[in-house]
Amino acid sequence: MSINIEEVRKQFPILETQVYNKPLVYFDSAATTHKPQRVIDKIDEVYKTLNSNIHRGVHYLSNQATLAYEEARNKVQGFINAEHSHQVIFTSGATAAINLVANSFGETFINEGDEIVVSTMEHHSNIVPWQLLCQRKKAVLKVIPINQDGDLEMEAYKSLLSDKTKIVAVTHVSNALGTVNPIQDVIDLAHEKNIPVMVDASQSVQHIGIDVQKMDCDLLVFSGHKIYGPTGTGVCYGKEDLLNQMVPWQGGGEMIHKVSFTETTYNELPFKFEAGTPNIAGAIGLGEAIDFVSELGVDNIAAYEDELLQYATNKLMSIEGMRIIGTAKKKSSVISFLINDIHPFDIGTLLDRMGIAVRTGHHCAQPIMDLYEIPGTLRASIAVYNTKEEIDQLVAALTKVAVMFA
Ligand code: C6P
């Protein structure tokens, strides 16, 4: 089966939007994807027919809401092929999930002098929580360098792994360069030294798909809003043994077994890590988004998006002064670029006036910009609802802009 693009586009009401009287051309899906009608309807339905707190009430609505919430967890479990649904912890996003890991894993396992390995291409969300942990614990953050193409330096990575390394936290796909990292090698090399690996799948789960058992990652995080689900949703997956060993991070309702002033005991997985009333409608909406992606088929999405990425890369290269930032061997869904020395913000603003949405700036990945010695890039990011016609429009608009600045 291949992607029926008309059928896909029909499901996204926002694609009908006019921007400055021009049809919206949206190339900012790495920041957040749009939502299909079925996800919007599902959230609406929750508030109209199920609204109630979960895991608490004996009453009908509470039971219905609990069932729907747990069904959403089962959908995530199936989608990433986790062994058990209790290995899926709902969070408010990838950022919250990484903070959970940094705090909870960090509190449990990190001591003075220990080392944590991240890479140069991490999103700030996968740098700063570790820096905070290192400050607190007097641990050391080690950074895997990347080369000018935007590929991880694997030899340097190997040399960073030692007895002191307590965790490796690496992105699967770079949000700023589009690099698809050799994540299996990253994991296997760490495991040879019994070092656990956390994968940031924020930019891969919606494009490439994830099989946590096959990957054998120890922890994995992603945001719901980048996979056609609602904002304020996310997932932290973990191996059961590891999650059981990790102390809870946030305290509150739901995460406890028994509370007293002499001793408090904690709930079992996944509730130990879900303190307080969660984003119930959001999680159920995320479950619907996962159904949407599963029905299209991740492999079909990947094939379609790869074709668009290749098409866009070739077309963009024809523009005078084009410099693509990030030319890794394997890429997914993201093209970062500059034209001559025109500031990306200026180009982005002009594109916006033509109805074309791209992201400009450092994309919350400043160390990458430092490496390339640039202030930022323009980033066109692709989702399953984009078309070759839209790419043609982007290229035509950029050609016009380049001429204006010449
Ligand atoms: N990247 C982008 O435009 P949150 O904000 O929690 O949903 O996701 C954080 C995050 C973590 N890791 C990666 C690889 C990411 O790309 C992001 C979010 C967006 O590239 C917003 S800055």
Category of 80 on φ-ψ map: left (φ > 0), alpha (ψ -120 to 50) or beta = alpha
Q: Name the strand (E) or helix (H) holding 366.
A: helix 366-372
Residue 88 has pLDDT above 80, yes or no: yes
Could you tell me which of 235, 277, 193 has the C-alpha nearest to residue 88? 235
One domain, residues 188 and 227 = yes
Q: Quickly state the pLDDT bin for 406 (edges 50, 70, 90).
A: confident
One domain, residues 69 and 195 = yes
User: Alpha-carbon distance 169 to 219, whole Å?
Assistant: 9
Cβ neighbours of residue 174 closer than 8 Å, sequence gap 6 or more: 121, 150, 181, 203, 326, 328, 334, 365, 368
- CA atoms 62, 67, 68, 73: torsion sign: positive
Give 359-372 pLDDT, tens digit per residue.
Answer: 999 999 999 999 99
One domain, residues 211 and 316 = no
CB-count exposure of residue 129 (10 Å: 0-12, 13-18, 19+):
buried
186 is a domain residue: yes
One domain, residues 239 and 330 = no
Domain, as residue range, for 279: 40-295
One domain, residues 194 and 272 = yes
CA of 239 to the centre of ligand 1 (A): 23
**Catalytic site residue 364?**
yes
400: CATH? 3.90.1150.10
One domain, residues 287 and 390 = no
Please report which residue ranges of 216-365 form alpha helices under DSSP H: 240-245, 280-296, 298-317, 344-353
CA of 32 to the centre of ligand 1 (A): 8
Q: Evaluate whether 30 touches 381 at the Cβ level (below 8 Å).
A: yes
Does residue 66 have its Cβ closer than 6 Å to ligand 1? no
Residue 1 has pLDDT above 70, yes or no: no
Domain end (from 268, 295, 322) = 295
Cβ neighbours of residue 54 closer than 8 Å, sequence gap 6 or more: 62, 65, 66, 69, 277, 278, 280
275 is a domain residue: yes
How do beta strands 25-26 and 356-357 pair?
Answer: parallel
pLDDT at 401: 95
One domain, residues 259 and 356 = no
User: Alpha-carbon distance 368 to 362, whole Å?
Assistant: 8
Domain end (from 264, 295, 326) = 295
Task: Report residue 64 as tokens.
Answer: 């219905």
CA of 121 to the centre of ligand 1 (A): 12
Active-site entry in 134, 217, 236, 364: 364
Please report which residue ranges of 229-327 form alpha helices under DSSP H: 240-245, 280-296, 298-317
Q: What is the chain's length? A: 406
Tell me the one-letter amino acid at 329. Answer: K
The packing angle between helices 94-109 and 128-137, to 10°, is 20
One domain, residues 219 and 359 = no
Give 147-201 pLDDT, tens digit per residue.
Answer: 999 999 999 999 999 999 999 999 999 999 999 999 999 999 999 999 999 999 9
One domain, residues 287 and 305 = no
Residue 57 has pLDDT above 80, yes or no: no
364 is a domain residue: yes
Give 235-255 pLDDT, tens digit per residue.
Answer: 999 999 999 999 999 999 999
Give 109-154 pLDDT, tens digit per residue.
Answer: 999 999 999 999 999 999 999 999 999 999 999 999 999 999 999 9
- Which atom, in ligand 1's list, is nearest to the CA of 171? 14
Does residue 203 have its Cβ closer than 6 Å to ligand 1? yes
Task: Report residue 301 as tokens.
Answer: 């999405």
201 is a domain residue: yes
35 is a domain residue: no
One domain, residues 18 and 75 = no
What average pLDDT does the segment 341-355 reach? Answer: 97
CB atoms within 10 A of CB 242: 17
180: CATH? 3.40.640.10
Could you tell me which of 323, 210, 81 has the C-alpha nearest to residue 187? 210
User: Alpha-carbon distance 366 to 117, whole Å?
Assistant: 18
User: Alpha-carbon distance 270 to 196, whole Å?
Assistant: 20
262 φ, ψ (degrees, to nearest 5): -95, -40
141 is a domain residue: yes
Domain end (from 295, 326, 350) = 295
- Tally the domains of the chain: 2
- Which atom, in ligand 1's list, is nearest to the CA of 175? 16
One domain, residues 126 and 273 = yes
One domain, residues 314 and 258 = no
CB atoms within 10 A of CB 108: 11
Does residue 168 have its Cβ closer than 6 Å to ligand 1? no
Strands (E), 31-97: 88-91
